[in-house]
A and B are shown apart, each in its own frame.
Chain A
Amino acid sequence: MSAVIRAERLSKQYRIGASRTPYETLRESLTRALAAPFRRRSEASERGPASDSFWALRDVSFEVRQGEALGVIGRNGAGKSTLLKILSRITEPTTGSVVLDGRVGSLLEVGTGFHSELTGRENVFLNGAILGMRKAEIQQKFDEIVSFAEVERFLDTPVKHYSTGMYLRLAFAVAAHLEPEIILVDEVLAVGDAAFQKKCLGKMGDITEQGRTVLFVSHNMGAVASLCQTGLVLDAGRIRFVGPVTEAVELYLGQFSGANELPLMLRHDRAGTGEVKLTGFRLESETGEPVDSIRNGHTARLVFDYAAPAGRPARNVEFQIIVRTESGELLFQFGTRPIARNFGEIPSTGRFVCELERFPLVPGRYRLDAHLAVDGRMSDYVLWLAPLVVVDGDYYGSGYRVFERESRFLLDGRVRCEAAGEAPEHEGR
C-alpha cells in the first residue's frame, strides 16, 4: 500500500496583525507606505519579523496510505484547521510540500455555497458543483441524495423556508455523495438530530470501507476512535504523536491533566473577596488514585484544596461546582446550596471533596467552574478552573457507547413494554 498523502515539513506562518484585522483600508496602506522611509530607521531594530507572526503549523510531516483513515486531533489552535486548509488547497503553506495522489474532496463545512433563495433542487446542483462534482454525476446521484436527506416533498421550495434540520440534512447528503479518492473532513458530523447523526456516522464508515482515504479532524473522540485506525495528535502546530488511534486519543485526553496551565494558586482571573481561595484541583478515582479523566458510570471525586490567606477559620461557607460544555452552556451545579447545608466552620486550610456517583455525562470535554462564598459574600469564583474530560465507562454495562450528540446525560432507569390489555385493567381497579 503506497502513500497517497505525503506531507513533508509543512509549515504555515500567520501574521498576528493579519489575523486580527483581516483586511486593511487603502488609507492605512497609503499612510504606511508614505511613512515607511521615516519609520524604518526607528522601528526596524525593535520590531523583528518574529514578533508579529506565529507558526500555526511547524515542520509537520506524515504519510497516509491508500484506504487508511487518519484522525487528526488536538486542542483548539493546535493547527488542525490550518493543516486541513493546506491539504484542501485553500491556503498555501509557507514552507514544505504535500503530494496528493488522487482526487481530493474536502468538507470543511456542509452546505458551502448554499443560497437561501434557491430551491433544494437547485442547491443540490450548485453545491455539488462547488464540491467538485460534474453535472452528470450529480444527476446520476440526485435521487439518492434526496432520499438520504429525506426532503423529497420540499425539493422545489427555496431553502430559506427549510428548518435547520432539513437544511443540514440536505447539505450533508450532497457532501456524503461526493466520491473522491481522498476525502478531508472537518467535524461535519456534528449536524442534525441524533437519528441523522447515526446515519452520517454510518455513511462515513461506508466511505472508509470502500477503500477511500480519509483524513478526519474532530473533537469527538468517540467518532475518531470508531472511524480511524491511525491518530495524529497536533499540539501548538507540531506533531506530538502519530500512531494507533487508541494511543493517540489517550494521549490527547491526557493533555488535559493541566500540565501546562498556570497553577490554580497563581491565577488572577478570578472574582471574589479572596477570604478563602481555592489553591489546587485534582481528580481522583474511587480509591483515591489521581486520574486524568472521569469514567462515566463510575464515581468521580473532585478534590479542591483551599486556603484562607489570613490564616483564620471561616464560617458559613458555601461551595458549589458548575459544569458546563466547552462552549459555556450550563449542564449542572452541585454543592452545598441545593442541599441547604453550608459548612458551619472550616479550618484555615484544607480541601473540599466533591464525590459524584455514577457520573452521568457522555464522553467529551467539559468545563469546570467553582464558586465559594463566605457568609453570603462571594469569596472566590473561578471560571474554567479546569477542563473535565469524560471517557466512556460503559455506563449501562451494555457496551453501547452513547455519543455527545445522542444525549448529554446518561440516566438510570428502566424501559419496559406492556401488553395493551394490561394497563386499563390496572386503571380499572
Chain B
Amino acid sequence: MVDRVAEAAGPAHVVIRPSTGWTGVSLRDLWAYRELLYFLAWRDIKVRYKQTALGVIWVVIQPLFAMLVFSVFFGRLAGMPSGGVPYPVFAFCALLPWQLFAHALTESSASLVTNQNLITKVYFPRLIIPLAPVLASLLDFLIAFGLLLGMLAYYRITPTLWVWTLPLFLLLAIALAIGVGLWLAALNARYRDVRYTIPFLTQIWLFATPIAYPSSLVPEPWRAWYGLNPMAGVVDGFRWALLGTADAPGGLMAVSAAVTLVILVSGVHYFRRTERTFADTI
C-alpha cells in the first residue's frame, strides 16, 4: 500500500500561504503533473472530432482549403510572387505553422473558462490547462506536415540543407502561441470580452503575417521591424528552411525571437500572478 502511495503525483510536503510578488514557475511541479498534461491534450484530441462525419480529416481540410483560396485569389488573380516555387506550396508551407499558432492560441485562451469545473475542484499547476491545447494542436500540425511532404514530392521540390533548423522555427511558433495564449487565457478568466476579440485578432494577424505574400514585399529598411510580428519570423524560417525562397535568418528573425521571449516571459508572469484568484473569480 505504502509504495503505491509514493507513486501518486504531487509533492509530499506542502506549505500553503498567501503568495506574494514574483512566483516564477515551478518546473518540478509541472514535471510531477506531466501525465495530466498528456491526458488533457489527449482528451482534447479525442473529443474534438467525436460526432463529426469526417473526423480527423478536418485537420487537413482546413489548411488545404485555405491554400486553395489563397492560390486562386492571390496566386492566380493577383499574381503574387512566390519566389520561384509553385504558389500552392509557397502558401501551404506558411499556412501550417500559422494554423498551429492560430489554433493553439484560440484553444488555450478559452481553456481556463472551459475547464473551470476543474479549476474550482482540484489542484494541479494551472499552467497545464492552457498548455494542453497547444500540445493537441501540435499533433494536428504533424498530420498536416505529412501532407506538405507529399506536396513537396509531387512538385519535385527538395528541401534545402537547412531543413534541420525547422524544429527551431516550430519552437518559436509554439513559444509565441503559449505566450499569447497565457495572456489571453488569464485575461479571459477575468474579462469574458476577450473571447469575442479572438476570431478578430487571429484574422488581422493572419493578414499581417507573410502567408499569402512573401515578406520581401516589405521594403528593406523596414523589413527587420516586420519581425515585431514574430509569426513573420516563423513563416520566413519555414520557407527558408524548406523551400529556400526567403532570406536566411537575420535582423527580422532576431527581432521575432526577442519579441517572442518578451511575450512568453511576461505571459507566464501575468498568468502566475493572476492564477491565485482564478478559483474565486472565474
Give the docked Cα–Cα distance between A181 and B8 (Å). 10
Size band of the interface chain B makes with A: 35 or more
Chain B: minimal CB distance from A103 (Å): 5
Give the docked Cα–Cα distance between A140 and B118 (Å). 24
Chain B: minimal CB distance from A128 (Å): 9
From known contacts A97-B17, A122-B46, A135-B35, infer whether A23 and B120 are also in contact, taking CB-CB under 8 Å. Answer: no
Interface segment among B80-88, B165-173, B187-195, B206-214: the answer is: B187-195
Are B19 and A92 in contact, with the CB atoms below 8 A? yes
Are A132 and B1 in contact, with the CB atoms below 8 A? no
Q: B5 an interface residue at 8 Å Cβ cutoff?
A: yes
A residues within 8 A CB of B194?
Answer: 26
Chain A: minimal CB distance from B266 (Å): 19
Name B residues whose Cβ lies closer than 8 Å to a Cβ of A: 1, 4-5, 7-19, 35-36, 39-40, 42-43, 46-47, 50-51, 117-124, 189-194, 276-277, 279-282
A residues within 8 A CB of B46?
Answer: 117-118, 122
A residues within 8 A CB of B121?
Answer: 90, 108-109, 112
Q: A39 an interface residue at 8 Å Cβ cutoff?
A: no
B residues within 8 A CB of A27?
Answer: 193
Sample (18) of A-B pairs whose CB atoms are under 8 Å apart:
A18-B281, A23-B189, A25-B193, A86-B16, A88-B123, A93-B16, A96-B17, A99-B16, A100-B14, A104-B10, A106-B122, A117-B51, A118-B47, A126-B42, A130-B124, A132-B122, A132-B124, A134-B35
Are B15 and A180 in contact, with the CB atoms below 8 A? no
Are A125 and B190 in contact, with the CB atoms below 8 A? no
Q: Given A25-B192, A130-B39, A132-B122, list of 15 further CB < 8 A pairs?
A: A23-B191, A29-B191, A89-B14, A92-B17, A92-B277, A98-B15, A98-B17, A99-B13, A112-B121, A115-B47, A130-B124, A132-B8, A133-B7, A134-B35, A180-B8
B residues within 8 A CB of A117?
Answer: 46-47, 50-51
Q: A105 an interface residue at 8 Å Cβ cutoff?
A: yes
Give the docked Cα–Cα distance between A145 and B19 (Å). 38
Are B123 and A89 in contact, with the CB atoms below 8 A? yes
Cβ-closest chain A residue relative to B4: A179
Q: A401 an interface residue at 8 Å Cβ cutoff?
A: no
Give the docked Cα–Cα distance between A362 and B120 (Å). 33
In chain A, residues 56-111, which have Cβ atoms closer than 8 Å to a Cβ of chain B?
Answer: 85-106, 108-109
From known contacts A117-B47, A180-B5, infer whether A112 and B281 are also in contact, taking CB-CB under 8 Å. Answer: no
From known contacts A23-B192, A89-B123, A104-B10, infer whether A125 and B15 are also in contact, taking CB-CB under 8 Å. Answer: no
Give the docked Cα–Cα distance between A90 and B279 (Å). 6
Q: A2 an interface residue at 8 Å Cβ cutoff?
A: no
Are B14 and A99 in contact, with the CB atoms below 8 A? yes
Chain A: minimal CB distance from B150 (Å): 31
Which of A25, A115, A118, A137 contacts B4 (CB under 8 A)?
A137
B residues within 8 A CB of A317?
Answer: none
Give the docked Cα–Cα distance between A126 and B132 (Å). 13
Name A residues whose Cβ lies closer than 8 Å to a Cβ of B: 14, 18, 22-27, 29, 85-106, 108-109, 112-113, 115, 117-118, 122, 125-126, 129-137, 140, 178-181, 210
Give the docked Cα–Cα distance between A179 and B121 (Å). 18
Are A105 and B8 in contact, with the CB atoms below 8 A? yes
Give the docked Cα–Cα distance between A14 and B280 (Å). 8
Which of B5, B15, B19 contacts A181 (CB under 8 A)?
B5
A residues within 8 A CB of B189?
Answer: 23
Cβ-closest chain A residue relative to B50: A117
Give the docked Cα–Cα distance between A88 and B10 (Å). 12
Chain A: minimal CB distance from B21 (Å): 14
Cβ-closest chain B residue relative to A10: B16
Are B16 and A89 in contact, with the CB atoms below 8 A? yes
Chain B: minimal CB distance from A202 (Å): 17
Give the docked Cα–Cα distance between A415 and B42 (Å). 54
Which of A23, A97, A131, A179 contacts B15 (CB under 8 A)?
A97
Give the docked Cα–Cα distance between A113 and B120 (Å). 11
Which of B14, B51, B282 contacts A104 (CB under 8 A)?
B14
A residues within 8 A CB of B191?
Answer: 23-26, 29
Cβ-closest chain B residue relative to A141: B4
Give the docked Cα–Cα distance between A85 and B282 (Å). 15
B residues within 8 A CB of A130?
Answer: 36, 39, 118, 122, 124
A residues within 8 A CB of B277?
Answer: 91-92
Chain B: minimal CB distance from A320 (Å): 42
Cβ-closest chain A residue relative to B196: A26
Are B43 and A115 in contact, with the CB atoms below 8 A? yes
B residues within 8 A CB of A25?
Answer: 191-193
Are A112 and B276 in contact, with the CB atoms below 8 A? no
Give the docked Cα–Cα distance between A29 and B193 (Å). 11
Are A92 and B276 in contact, with the CB atoms below 8 A? yes
Which one of A14, A23, A85 has the highest number of Cβ atoms from chain B below 10 Å of its Cβ? A23
Give the docked Cα–Cα distance between A18 and B279 (Å). 11
Cβ-closest chain B residue relative to A27: B193
A residues within 8 A CB of B36?
Answer: 129-130, 132
A residues within 8 A CB of B11?
Answer: 103
From known contacts A134-B9, A181-B5, infer whether A87 and B16 are also in contact, taking CB-CB under 8 Å. Answer: yes
Are A179 and B280 in contact, with the CB atoms below 8 A? no
From known contacts A135-B35, A181-B5, infer whether A90 and B190 are also in contact, taking CB-CB under 8 Å. Answer: no
Are A90 and B119 in contact, with the CB atoms below 8 A? yes
Are A93 and B18 in contact, with the CB atoms below 8 A? yes
Chain A: minimal CB distance from B46 (Å): 6
Give the docked Cα–Cα distance between A97 and B17 (Å). 5
A residues within 8 A CB of B120?
Answer: 90, 108
Chain B: minimal CB distance from A225 (Å): 27
Chain A: minimal CB distance from B30 (Å): 14
Are A131 and B122 in contact, with the CB atoms below 8 A? yes
Cβ-closest chain A residue relative to B8: A103
Give the docked Cα–Cα distance between A87 and B12 (Å). 14
Chain B: minimal CB distance from A392 (Å): 32
Give the docked Cα–Cα distance between A390 and B16 (Å). 38
Are B118 and A112 in contact, with the CB atoms below 8 A? yes
Closest 7 CB pairs of A and B: A89-B123, A97-B17, A129-B39, A26-B193, A26-B191, A98-B16, A100-B14
Give the docked Cα–Cα distance between A18 and B16 (Å). 23
Give the docked Cα–Cα distance between A135 and B18 (Å). 32
A residues within 8 A CB of B5?
Answer: 103, 179-181
Chain B: minimal CB distance from A137 (Å): 5
B residues within 8 A CB of A93?
Answer: 16-18
B residues within 8 A CB of A140?
Answer: 4
Cβ-closest chain B residue relative to A21: B281
